[in-house]
């Protein structure tokens, strides 16, 4: 295929950590056992430490190389998101549960399961929710599939 780009960088970034992890796992189990004597096998293992670290370095560099070759179609992603209003079922359900609305899951399941949902349907659904305060409705109506990221920013900061 002429349009296919060989993902060799990512293949290397996946394979090399496997080798490094295997070596490091062996080192972690081997080197902590003291035989209370001169153990020449430890020096052999220690000489291989650089090999494990080199495989890790190769993996990191290969990952960065792979990322450098990727182009993000931001317009395409935003276009796809704008066609996926059913993504807002999660924050809507969360708000419904916050206000202890009965059958929150089932209400959203009826709206979204196996269906393509539009902005108009989401807004209409939110507007019909008499069990939640107007302030919560207004907050939900401000959401779009592209603007809702849930707790992702907080989780990213915790890494």
Q: Which domain holds residue 14?
A: 8-71
Same domain, 93 and 133: yes
Q: Give DSSP secondary structure letters for 87-142.
A: GGHHHHHHHHHHTT-TTHHHHHHHHHTT----HHHHHHHHHT-TTS-HHHHHHHHT
Q: Which residue has the higher pLDDT, 142 or 2?
A: 142
Q: Is residue 51's pLDDT more than 90? A: yes
Mean pLDDT value across residues 86-101: 93
Classify residue 84: in a domain, yes or no: yes
CATH number of the domain that residue 82 is part of:
1.10.40.30
Determine the pLDDT at residue 116: 85
Classify residue 122: in a domain, yes or no: yes
Classify residue 90: in a domain, yes or no: yes
Q: Where among 21, 47, 71 does a domain terminate?
A: 71
Same domain, 111 and 127: yes
Determine the pLDDT at residue 34: 65
Let me know if 55 is exposed, middle or buried by CB neighbors in 10 A (0-12, 13-18, 19+): buried
Same domain, 92 and 63: no
Classify residue 19: in a domain, yes or no: yes
Q: Where among 56, 71, 86 does a domain terminate?
A: 71
Determine the pLDDT at residue 28: 87
Q: Where among 35, 52, 71 does a domain terminate?
A: 71
Determine the pLDDT at residue 31: 79
Mean pLDDT value across residues 12-36: 86
Q: Which residue has the higher pLDDT, 146 or 46?
A: 146
Mean pLDDT value across residues 27-55: 79
Same domain, 49 and 22: yes
Comparing CA positions, the residue from 153, 147, 156 lying closest to residue 119 is 147
Q: Is residue 83's pLDDT more than 80? A: yes
Confidence of residue 97 (pLDDT cuts 50, 70, 90): very high
Confidence of residue 19 (pLDDT cuts 50, 70, 90): very high
Mean pLDDT value across residues 122-128: 94
Instruction: Classify each residue of 104-138 as buried b or exposed e, where b means 16 or more C-beta atoms within 10 Å of its C-beta.
Output: beebbeebbeeeebeeeebeebbeebeebeeebbe
Same domain, 33 and 47: yes
Confidence of residue 13 (pLDDT cuts 50, 70, 90): confident
Helices (H) and strands (E) in the chain, counts: 9, 0
């Amino acid at each position: 295929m002429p349009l296919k780009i060989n993902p060799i960088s990512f293949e290397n970034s996946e394979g090399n950590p496997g080798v490094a992890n295997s070596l490091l796992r062996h080192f972690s189990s081997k080197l902590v056992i003291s035989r209370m004597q001169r153990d020449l096998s430890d020096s052999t293992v220690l000489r291989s430490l650089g090999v494990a670290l080199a495989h890790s370095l190769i993996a990191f560099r290969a990952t960065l190389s792979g990322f450098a070759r990727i182009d993000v179609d931001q317009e395409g992603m935003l276009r796809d998101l704008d066609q996926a209003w059913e993504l807002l079922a999660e924050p809507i359900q969360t708000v419904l549960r916050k206000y202890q609305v009965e059958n929150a899951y089932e209400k959203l399941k009826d709206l979204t399961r196996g269906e393509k949902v539009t902005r108009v349907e989401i807004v209409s659904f939110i507007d019909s929710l008499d069990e939640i305060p107007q302030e919560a409705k207004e907050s939900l109506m401000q959401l779009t599939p592209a603007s809702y990221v849930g707790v992702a920013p907080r989780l990213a900061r915790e890494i």
